[in-house]
Amino acid sequence: MTSAAAHALDVTTLAATNEHLASMSNTLVYSSMAVYTLAFFAYIFEWLLGSRSRVARTANALTTKTDTKTAPAVTVKKAGGTAVLERPQVVVRSAAGSRDVPDGPGAHGGDEQGDLYGRIAISLTVLAFLVELAGVATRAASVQRAPWGNMYEFNITFSTVAVAVYLTLLALRKNVRWLGLFLITTVLLDLGLAVTVLYTASEPLVPALHSYWLYIHVSTAIFCGAVFYVGAVATILYLFKDAYESKLENGGKPGSFATSVLERLPASASLDKFAYRVNAAVFPLWTFTIIAGAIWAGSAWGRYWNWDPKETWSFITWVAYACYLHARATAGWKGRKAAYLAMIAFGCWLFNYYGVNIFVTGKHSYAGV
């Protein structure tokens, strides 16, 4: 066999191996979706089979507080010959703009059977995460580059990082198991969109993306988006829980389904604080992401800022989150108003992610979908 023939055979073998890895990646991603689906049902069983006997804690707390406000008890203490009136401390709205009520017992409702299904759900989530991570890694190995050269790869990496953030919070012993059902539901939707509408065959990068800034800029963008997403889920749950608490406070009677679900979530003040801390923690990294992108643009296009649609909407997203954080730290813009701002900010991020890539043509269009 001549050297030229041997070289051709090596190239053919290498191409076949790459195709094999790409096919393996697809199989792993589909397998992760199957395991995520099992985790989804386990989370459902955790909510359904968990005890409902511990609900109505919010209603009891608000009723007690209302009674205290309307008919405050007054005690009399005598200090020597002087009578001293001591009024009880009245609980007012918390700093987050919500009532000072206890956190819910969690998705399992404090029930042993529900807790068992919750632990099974977490185990399945870990397994699905590892399978999906392997799918992302083999996708990268199939073309020997970072696995985020198009929207399909960005999607599968994004959902992997989002689950990693959730599992990290659990590993740090943060009580966020209530987030599991809502997170996994949207992760399944994200992966379904990725493998159907956004799927792109594994192929080498275009020359413009061959830069070490790809690893810095895009990886931080993915991580920031995943954390913003976790914050957005918490914000949506806060809005539902706050509306529920408001209805109870005003004497309304929510339905039994709403009571069973929302009573198990943390108090609205806790959800609001969690969302704020998550968004505030990742905001500096989002700032760095934009700066890193500008530096990359300077070396690739000759200008640090070109008002490209992707650059523009990244900046709009930065401004929206900056407004939210400022409003959240201002007395007049706590609670629901700040939460609406957070949702607008995340909406800007979503449009920058999907809308700009799909519907708008710009300098970033070379990555395709």
Q: Assess whether pLDDT exceeds 70 at residue 137.
A: yes
Tell me the mean pLDDT in the region 176-205.
Answer: 89
Residue 10: what pLDDT?
38
Is the pLDDT at 293 greater than 80, yes or no? Answer: yes
> Between residues 316 and 218, which one has the greater pLDDT?
316
Other CB atoms within 10 Å distance of the CB of residue 129: 23
pLDDT at 84: 41
Per residue in 73-105, pLDDT tens? 444 455 555 444 344 333 334 444 446 787 888
The pLDDT of residue 341 is 93
Q: How confident is the model over 16-64, as pLDDT tens digits? A: 348 888 899 999 999 999 999 999 999 999 988 877 665 556 655 665 5
Residue 75 and residue 145 in contact, taking contact as beta carbons nearer than 8 Å: no
Report the half-sphere exposure of 164 (CA within 13 A, side-chain side).
Answer: 15
pLDDT: is 202 or 13 the higher one? 202
Distance CA 195, CA 178 (A): 27
The pTM of this model reads 0.81
CB 357 within 8 A of CB 151: yes
pLDDT at 3 over 50: no
Burial call 345-357: b when 16+ CB within 10 Å, e when fewer: bbebbebbbbebb
- Is the C-alpha dihedral spanning 151, 154, 160, 162 positive or negative? negative
- Average pLDDT rounded to a whole number, residues 149-174: 90
Q: How far apart are the first and last CA of the chain?
A: 42
Quote the pLDDT of residue 166: 94
Least confidently predicted of 142-146, 162-166, 231-235: 142-146
**For the chain, percent of residues with pLDDT exceeding 90:** 41
Q: What is the mean pLDDT of residues 160-181?
A: 91
Phi-psi category of residue 307: left, alpha or beta, with phi > 0 → left and psi -120 to 50 → alpha: left
| pLDDT band at residue 180 under the 50/70/90 scheme | very high
The mean pLDDT value of the chain amounts to 80
pLDDT above 50: residue 2: no
Given this model, what pLDDT does residue 262 score?
A: 87
The better pLDDT of the pair 170, 82 is held by 170
Reference 203, options 9, 21, 28, 362; nearest CA is 21
